[in-house]
Amino acid sequence: MNLELEIGFSSRAETAGFAFRQWRRRVGQRLLRMAAAVAEAVVPERVKNRERMFAELSRDYAGLIAGICLSFARSEEDFQDLRQDTFLNIWNGLAAFRRDSSLSTWIYRVTLNTCVSSQRKKTRREEVQMDELYATLYEDSPTEEIERYKLMYRLIGMLSPLDKSIVLMWIDGKSYEEIRSVTGLSRDSVASRLKRAKGKLADFYNKVKND
Amino acid sequence: MEIEYLKENWESSNAALERGSQSRKNIDPRQKTTLQRLASRYRRMAIVSAVSLCWVMPLYFRLSEENPDTPLFYPLVMVAFFLIAAGMDYWLCRGIQSIDCATMSVETVLKKVYFYRKRHIQFIFILMPIALLIVYLMLAMFNFEKYALLGAACGFMVGLAFGLKILFDFMRDYKQVLN
């Protein structure tokens, strides 16, 4: 093709320059395609699996994670921080997940560990904030249901972090063996702490109902 | 009755949270968790303490030019303070980084968190006398002038009040958590 005639360059230098830029663009595109192919071949199976797994976990266990974080949270800011930290720990821990336990047990482990490592006291202002948070989180639920959930979290919130962990797993139907593996306690300790926690919950429940 | 109450409401609560839009906010994987931020803070303080060693001896030499009687003891105390502070912060940083929420048990994480929190407070009690000694030495350099003494006394009272409050809060939480 005669570039001078087709495009109307005034000198050979301009023609050469244009040809060089076209060549550079084609080489650059070819290099990018090769790099993408190499990346596709070398890295992504593991990365894609991790991203896919994280997306599935975020979808399937979002409610459970939110419920556990709500049990430990002292304020809306606390709840958002705990949720964020939990998902970050799940993302970081997915690479090391060895499938020696079920996925839901592992989610319990990560979420409970994230929550117990961030414990602090609740102030009066935060109690008010929590009421607003419940209204936001349960926006589709009727008022009577929200009141029942608030009472449930109030009861659970009165336990120590370790007892809370045991009770949450137990009311979700986890076996003693799963509770033992997540909490790190012996089977007898789990049983005795659970029995003690049930007694405390009964006392708290009666006290709250009488109030 | 109350356990059945909890069981029924737990399932319906999680289902309601699953449906809610708040549960699905996007997570930014580039952010750090609370523990990672705490470890970063300790690492930064360790670096600041280590770097602070650099100005102690030049300051001593500068003061010695004006007052040749300035004892060598003064800068040595400051060097000791910064070395101990840097070592403690680095140790705490490594300790916090060793906590793995994805593989450890809940009891282990709880114990580690409270262990390092307790050590942090104990380190403060080790560094505090050295810091008080440094304040005394600096007051001596200013010949115990009235306003310097007043400033030191006010700082001491405020620091003591804050420190005791944090200590008592911590001891109360510690007893409750591992009960």
DSSP chain B: -HHHHHHHHHHHHHHHHHHSGGGGPPP-TTSPPHHHHHHHHHHHHHHHHHHHHHHHHHHHHHHHHH-TT--THHHHHHHHHHHHHHHHHHHHHHHHHT--TTTS-HHHHHHHHHHHHHHHHHHHHHHHHHHHHHHHHHHHHTTT-HHHHHHHHHHHHHHHHHHHHHHHHHHHHHHHHT-
Is B169 in Cβ contact with A139 (below 8 Å)? no
Instruction: Kindly calculate the radius of gyration of chain A based on its CA atoms and give it in whole angstroms.
Output: 29
Residue A175 DSSP one-character state: -
Residues with Cβ within 8 Å of residue B176, at least 6 apart in sequence = A160
Percentage above 70 pLDDT, chain B: 87
SS3 A111: helix
Q: Any chain A CB within 8 A of the CB of B30?
A: no
d(CA B24, CA A55): 11
Domain ranges of chain A: 3-42, 44-210
Residue B4 at interface with chain A, using a CB cutoff of 8 Å = no
On whether residue B60 sits in a domain, the answer given is yes
Chain B residues near residue A70 by CB distance under 8 angstroms: 17
Number of domains into which chain B is organized: 1
> Does residue B147 fall inside a structural domain?
yes
Q: What is the mean pLDDT of chain B?
A: 82
Amino acid at A68: I
pLDDT at B170: 63
Please, which residues 118-157 of chain B have a Cβ atom closer than 8 Å to chain A?
none
- What pLDDT, on the 0 to 100 scale, is given for residue A52? 83
Q: Is B175 on the interface with A (CB under 8 A)?
A: no
Contacts of A119 in chain B (CB under 8 A): 113, 173, 177
Spell out the residues 6+ positions from residue A103 whose beta carbon is closer than 8 angstroms to its own.
A57, A61
Parent domain of B133: 34-177
* Closest residue of chain B to A106, computed from CA coordinates: B102
Check whether A47 has a pLDDT greater than 70. Answer: no
| B18 belongs to a structural domain | no
The lowest-confidence range among A12-26, A152-166, A187-201 is A12-26
Mean pLDDT, range A70-93, rounded to an integer: 89
Q: Which of B29-33's residues contact partners 24+ apart within 8 Å by CB, and which partners? A: B29/A88, B29/A91, B31/A84, B31/A88, B32/A88, B33/A84, B33/A85, B33/A88, B33/A89, B33/A114, B33/B101
Residues of chain A contacting B31 with CB distance shorter than 8 Å: 84, 88
Indicate the residue of B2, B22, B27 with minimum beta-carbon distance to A155: B2
A23-A28-A32 Cα angle (round to 5) = 150
pLDDT, tens digit, 9 for 90 and up, residues A7-28: 555 677 788 888 888 888 888 8
* Among A77, A52, A64, CA closest to A108: A64
Of A128-142, A159-173, B108-122, minimum mean pLDDT range: A128-142
Q: Nearest to residue A168, comparing CAs of A187, A148, A147, A190?
A: A190
In a domain, B19, yes or no: no
Task: With beta carbons less than 8 A apart as the criterion, state whether B74 and A66 touch.
Answer: no
Q: Which residues of chain B have pLDDT under 70?
A: 1-2, 20-27, 170-179
End-to-end CA distance of chain B: 25
B33 touches chain A (CB under 8 A): yes
Per-residue pLDDT at A2 exceeds 60: no
The complex scores an ipTM of: 0.77
Minimal Cβ distance to B9: which of A119, A120, A149: A149
